[in-house]
Structure 1
Amino acid sequence: MTEKVDYARTKLQPPSPSSSIIFVSSKNEILLLHRVKTSSSFPSAHVFPGGNISLQDGEFLPQDIDPARHACDDALQYRQAAIRELFEESGILLAKDQVTGRLIYVNQADRERGRHAIHEQRVTFRQWLKEQKPTAEPDTDALIPFTHWITPANMSKRFTTQMYLYFQPFPDSSEERSGVGFRVEEELREEDQIPSSDGGLEIQEARFLPACEWLKMSRSRQVILFPPQFLLLHLVSRFLDRLPRLEGASMEEMKRRRLELLRFVHSGSPPWTQKCILPRTIKVLPDKRHVLALDSPGLEMQGVDKRGETEMVVLVRFEKEGPRDVDVRWKKDIIGNDTKASL
Structure 2
Amino acid sequence: MSTPADHRPSKEAAKSPAVPRPSASVLLISPTNQILLLHRVSKASSFASAHVFPGGALSKTHDGIIPDVNDPARHQDGPAYRMAAVRETFEECGILLAKNKKTGKLFTEVSDKDREEGRKAIHSGKVKFADLLEQWGATPDTESLIPFTRWITPPNVPKRFSTQMYIYFLPLGSASPTRKSAPGGSPGIEAEEDELMIPKPTHDGGIEHTAARFLPPHKWIDLARQNRIILFPPQFFLTLLLAPYLSANVTSPSSPVPTHSELQLEREKVLDFLSKPRTYDGQVEVSFAKACISPIVLGKGQYGDKSQDGVGGVDKHTAVLVLDGPGKEVEEQGQGRRGIREWVVTTKFRKEGPRDVDVRRREEVLGTGGRGKL
- Normalising by structure 1, we get a TM-score of 0.86
Question: Is the 8 Å Cα contact of residues 21 and 49 (structure 1) preserved in structure 2?
Answer: yes
The residue number in structure 2 matching 1:213 is 219
Matched residues in 2 for 1:127 and 1:244: separation? 40
| Distance (Å, rounded) in 2 between the aligned partners of 1:172 and 1:229 | 26
* Cα separation, partners in 2 of 1:169 and 1:154, compared to 1, 3 Å: same
Deviation at 1:288, TM superposition (A): 1.3
What's 1:6 paired with?
none
What's the Cα RMSD here? 2.2
Partners in 2 of 1:78 and 1:270 — Cα distance? 21
**Secondary structure at the residue paired with 1:57?**
coil
In structure 2, distance between residues paired with 1:244 and 1:221: 21
- Give 1:186 deviation, angstroms: 5.6
2:197 to 189, 199, 206: 189
Q: What is the CA–CA distance in structure 1 between the aligned matches of 2:123 and 2:45, rounded to whole Å?
A: 16
Name the counterpart of 1:276: 292
Distance 2:98 2:348 in 1: 39
In the alignment, does 2:16 pair up with 1:11? yes
Partner of 2:302: none
Separation (CA, whole Å) in 2 of partners of 1:275 and 1:86: 23
Alignment correspondent of 2:271:
262
- Give the whole-Å Cα distance in 2 for the aligned partners of 1:149 and 1:27: 27
Partner residue, 1:85: 88
Residues 299-308 or 235-244, more deviating: 235-244
What per-residue deviation string (whole Å, max 9, x for no partner) do you get for residues 136-178 of structure 1? 21110110000000001011110000000011112259xxxxx
**Residue aligning to 2:119:** 115
- Divergent runs of 4+, >4 A: none
Higher Rg: 2
1:164-175 map, 5 Å: 164-171=166-173
2:226 alignment partner AA: S
Is 1:332 aligned with 2:363?
yes
Structure 1 partner of 2:132: 128
Separation in 2, partners of 1:74, 1:67: 13
Contact 1:240–1:258 (Cα < 8 Å) also in 2: yes
Say if 1:143 and 1:61 are closer, same or farther in 2 by CA, change over 3 A.
Answer: closer
Q: Describe the SS at the equivalent of 1:161.
A: strand
- Report the Cα distance in structure 2 between the residues aligned to 1:99 and 1:92, rounded to whole angstroms: 19
Q: Secondary structure at the match of 1:165?
A: strand
Distance 1:58 1:107 in 2: 27
What is residue 181 of structure 2 aligned with on the other side?
none
Q: Secondary structure at the match of 2:341?
A: strand
Q: Residues of 1 paired with 2:207 and 2:155: CA distance?
A: 28
Report what 2:156 is aligned to: 154
Kindly tell me: are residues 110 and 68 of structure 1, through their superposed partners in 2, closer, same or farther at Cα, counting changes over 3 Å?
same
Question: What's the secondary structure of 2:39's corresponding residue?
Answer: strand
Q: Choose which of 16, 26, 44 in structure 2 pairs with 1:21.
A: 26
Indicate the residue corresponding to 1:198 in structure 2.
Answer: 204
Aligned residues: 313
**1:311 corresponding residue in structure 2:** 342
Match of 2:9 in 1: none
| Deviations, residues 94-119 of structure 1 (Å, cap 9, x unaligned) | 11134532112222211111000000
- State the Cα distance separating 1:254 from its structure 2 match: 1.5
Q: 1:244 to 1:61 in 2, by over 3 A?
A: closer
Q: Residues 248-300 of structure 1: CA distance to partner in whole angstroms, max 9, x if unpaired?
A: 33221111111101100112321111000000122343151111110000100
> Letter of the aligned partner of 1:211 in structure 2?
P
The worse-fitting range, judged by mean Cα deviation, of 43-52 and 98-107 is: 98-107
Q: In structure 2, what residue type is equivalent to 1:12?
A: P
Q: Secondary structure at the match of 1:238?
A: coil
Residue of structure 2 aligned with 1:298, choices 327, 330, 339: 327
Structure 2 residue runs without a partner (length 5+): 1-13, 176-188, 279-284, 299-306, 309-313, 369-374
Distance (whole Å) between structure 1 residues aligned to residue 194 and residue 114 of structure 2: 18
